[in-house]
Amino acid sequence: MEEELAMLRQFIGQLQDLLNLYGSPLPPFDSLQPFHFHNHQQQNHNNGNNNRWCFLNLDDGSADDYCSLVMAAGKSGSFKMLEPCKPPPSKKPRKERNRGKSLGTTSSTEVMQQEIWKEFPEDLFEAVIARLPITTFFRFRSVCRKWNSFLDSQSFSQHCAQVPQSNPWFYTIAHENVNSGAMYDPSLKKWHHPTISYLPTKTIVLPVASAGGLVCFLDIGHRNFYVCNPLTQSFKELPPRSVKVWSRVAVGMTLNSNAASGGYKILWVCCDGEHEVYDSLKNSWTRPGSMPSCIKLPLSLNFRSQAVSLGGTLYFMRSDPEGIVSYNMVTGVWKQSIIPAPHHLSDRTLAQCEGRIILVGLLTKNAATCVCIWELQKMTLLWKEVDRMPNIWCLDFYGKHVRMTCLGNSGLLMLSLRSRQMNRLVTYNVVSREWLKVPGCLVPRGRKRQWIACGTAFNPCLTATA
C-alpha cells in the first residue's frame, strides 16, 4: 500500500511540474485542505468556478479509496484531477507576438521622443533637418509654416551645403509616356512620380543635362530651354536664343561655384560648330566665338551620350575622327583629343567618377553581348577595360539584338537594356564596382516602366533654385 501511495505522490508531483510550466502552479501540500470529490463538484458549480483546483489529502483516509477514485475517474472521464477549470493559455503565433512587441515598443518610444524633442533647441532644427533623407524632409514640411519656409532660408542652405552629397537620383522619361517623368532614388530603391506643372504640355520636353540639383530640359524642336528643380518645382523658362538652329544640338551644364546658389551656365553646340552659352546670373545667351580651326568640322557628335562635366569643363563624344571634344566654361577654350574607340563596341556613353572619364558600351562578339566599363588613361589617351557585367547576367543577352541607354555621369550609372524579348534596368557603382537590379517602376496607369528612352542623373538638392 505504501508503494502505491508513493506512486500516487510521484504522479501528482509530475502534474505539478507541468502546471508550473504551462499554467498556474500548485499551492504547497501543507496548504491543501481535505475535501471530497462530490462536494468539490457541487461547490465548483455554485461558485462559478472560483476554485480552480481539486486536491486530495493523501495523509487522511485509505490509500485504496484514493487509488480506486483515480482509476475510476480515468476510465469514466468524469473527473480530471489537478486540471484548471480554464484551459491553459494557447501559444500565440510568432507574427502576433512580434506585432504586440512592436506596438508596445512604439508607444513607449513615442512618449520618450516627445520628452526629448520638447526641450530640443530651436536653433538646431535646421541643422538636423538638413541631414534627413530627402523624402523625409517633404513629410516634415507639413508640420508647420516655419518648417515649410526652410527652403527659402539662407541659413538652411548653408546647412545643406555642409552635408556630404549622397548618391545621385535619376530623372527618366519612358518610351511609352514621354510627357511624364519618373525619378529613381537608388539609396531607398524607390521610384517617385513628380508633376512639373510649368512644363509645356503641347510639346515633348526632354531632360538633356543637369548640375547642382537642377535639370535642364529642351523641347523636341530644339527651340526652347527650361530649368527646373524636380524636388521643389522651382522652374524657369530661359530666354530665346540669339541663333536660330533647327538641327539637333548637344547640351552641357555646369555650376559657377560649388552650390547652385552661385549660378549656372548652359552650353549648346551643333555639328556645324555653332554654339552659345547661357549665364543664369546675367539671364542671357552669348556667343563666345567661332570654333577653332584645329577642330575638324562637322563634329559628328554622339547625341546618345550626354556631356560630362569635370572642373568647369564639358566633354562631348564625337566620331570621324573618334575622340572627345572639350570646352572650358571659364576660359572659353575648345580642345580636341583623338581617342580610338574599342573594337566591337556599340551604344557608347561617357561618364565620370572622381575626376576620371569613363566609357560604357555594349561589346558584341559573334552572338555574345556584354556591358563593358572602360577608363581613359591620361598619359596614353587610350581606353582601358576595368570591369564587365557578371557573366550570368550576360547570358540573357545571348543571340539577341540588345540596345542600351546609359544615364549618369557622377559615379553611379543606370543602364536600360532592351530587346524584343527582354527589358532590364540595372545600376552600376563605378567606385565599388557593384551591379544591382532596379525594381520595376509602376506608372500611375499600372504598367511597369522598363524601357528608359532618355534621362539624366542629378544630385538631389532642396535649396537649388532655377
- Tens-binned pLDDT, residue by residue, of the chain (466 aa): 555 566 666 656 665 665 555 444 445 444 444 434 344 444 444 444 444 444 444 444 444 444 444 444 444 444 344 444 445 555 556 555 555 544 444 444 455 567 766 777 767 777 777 777 777 777 776 777 777 777 777 777 777 777 777 788 999 887 655 557 888 999 888 888 877 778 877 778 889 999 988 999 998 877 889 999 988 888 999 998 877 776 789 999 999 876 666 789 999 999 888 999 999 999 999 998 888 888 988 888 988 888 999 988 999 999 888 999 999 999 999 999 999 989 888 899 999 988 899 999 999 888 888 999 999 998 999 999 999 999 888 888 887 888 898 988 778 999 988 888 788 899 999 999 999 999 877 766 656 656 787 889 998 887 778 8
Handedness of CA 337, 343, 348, 353 (dihedral sign): negative
User: What pLDDT, on a 0 to 100 scale, did the predictor assign at position 66?
Assistant: 42
Looking at the structure, do residues 241 and 287 belong to the same domain, yes or no? yes
Looking at the structure, do residues 139 and 174 belong to the same domain, yes or no? no
* Helix, strand, coil distribution of the chain in percent, nearest 5: 25, 35, 40
Are the C-beta atoms of 344 and 362 separated by less than 8 Å? no
User: What pLDDT, on a 0 to 100 scale, did the predictor assign at position 14?
Assistant: 61
311: left (phi over 0), alpha (psi -120 to 50) or beta: left
Looking at the structure, do residues 150 and 261 belong to the same domain, yes or no? no
Are the C-beta atoms of 183 and 167 separated by less than 8 Å? no
Looking at the structure, do residues 224 and 340 belong to the same domain, yes or no? yes
Looking at the structure, do residues 134 and 209 belong to the same domain, yes or no? no
Side-chain-facing half-sphere of 451: CA atoms under 13 Å: 14
DSSP H or E segment with residue 325: strand 323-328
User: What pLDDT, on a 0 to 100 scale, did the predictor assign at position 329?
Assistant: 93
Task: Report yes or no on 51 lying in a domain.
Answer: no
Looking at the structure, do residues 222 and 357 belong to the same domain, yes or no? yes
Looking at the structure, do residues 131 and 248 belong to the same domain, yes or no? no
User: CA of 404: how far to CAs of 118, 170, 367, 397, in Å?
Assistant: 53, 16, 16, 11
Task: Report yes or no on 355 lying in a domain.
Answer: yes
User: What pLDDT, on a 0 to 100 scale, did the predictor assign at position 398?
Assistant: 81
Phi/psi of residue 232, nearest 5 degrees: -105, -5
Q: Within a 10 A sphere around the Cβ of 115, how many other Cβ atoms? A: 9
Looking at the structure, do residues 271 and 388 belong to the same domain, yes or no? yes
Looking at the structure, do residues 191 and 143 belong to the same domain, yes or no? no
Looking at the structure, do residues 206 and 272 belong to the same domain, yes or no? yes
For residue 407, give its domain range. 169-458
Task: Report yes or no on 106 lying in a domain.
Answer: no
144-147: long-range contacts at Cβ-Cβ below 8 A with a sequence spacing of 24 or more? none
**Count of domains forming the chain:** 2
| SS3 state at 422 | coil
User: What pLDDT, on a 0 to 100 scale, did the predictor assign at position 177?
Assistant: 56
Which residues have CB under 8 Å from 224's CB, separation 6+?
A: 200, 218, 237, 238, 240
Which residues have CB under 8 Å from 240's CB, separation 6+?
A: 223, 224
Looking at the structure, do residues 132 and 186 belong to the same domain, yes or no? no
Looking at the structure, do residues 148 and 192 belong to the same domain, yes or no? no
Among residues 413, 466, 461, 462, the alpha carbon closest in space to that of 212 is found at: 461
